[in-house]
Amino acid sequence: MTYTESNGRRRMVRSLAFLLAALMAIAFVSGCATATETEDFEVTLVNLSSPGDRGGGIGEADLAFTIRLQNATPEAVVLTGGAHKIYLNGVYLGQGLSNARVEVPRLATTTAELSVHLSTFKLARALYGVYRAQKADYRIVSTLYGERRTFRTHKEGSIDLHGLNLPPPPPGAPPAF
């Protein structure tokens, strides 16, 4: 083997080693940034209201949601924003986005206000389904961005409305969607 062949091999081995190290570093960094479903942080919907001053048009309504952020980790979590998708009886109603900074103390809860823009057509369809079925199935799917970690959560529930004694749908009414 000549001197130039030896140098060429060393350079190639160094280049491959550098490339392998770079790929491993990229995989490690992207693995750390990946959000996974978690059970140590939870988002629940606790209240819903219609702000009088923010109204909406015929195609869109603005509603204020109050959400409860529950931190079951042993350290405080600082959130820098989040995205929350709202579903009612399987119908996607809309998404609320927040860029507010919220600190949730360790092993504690706090509430936050969230403005959600909903399609009034989808909302009417979902509410008609609730009326026909006499129950409301809801789901909130959240992605929360923290200073150190990203959380993905979902919460589902059902509310039975039979106790409200709503009048039955008229005969011949179309079925729930």
> 5-36 pLDDT, tens per residue?
556 555 555 544 444 444 344 434 433 444 45
Flag whether 176 is in a domain: no
Range of the domain at 20: 1-34
For residues 41 and 71, the answer to whether their CB atoms sit within 8 Å is: yes
Name the token pair of 25. Answer: 């570093």
Judging by DSSP bridges, how do beta strands 108-119 and 91-98 pair with one another? antiparallel
Flag whether 171 is in a domain: no
Of 86, 104, 81, which is closest to residue 35 (Cα–Cα)?
A: 81
Q: Are residues 26 and 65 in the same domain?
A: no
Q: HSE of 157 in the Cβ direction (CA atoms, 13 Å)?
A: 9
Average pLDDT of the chain to the nearest whole number: 77
Flag whether 173 is in a domain: no
Q: Are residues 57 and 120 in the same domain?
A: yes
Q: Are residues 136 and 156 in the same domain?
A: yes
Cα 9–chain centre separation: 51
Which pLDDT tens digit goes with each residue over 28-53?
443 344 445 667 889 988 887 776 65
The model's pTM: 0.69
Judging by DSSP bridges, how do beta strands 41-49 and 60-71 pair with one another? antiparallel
Q: Are residues 26 and 41 in the same domain?
A: no
Q: Are residues 108 and 133 in the same domain?
A: yes
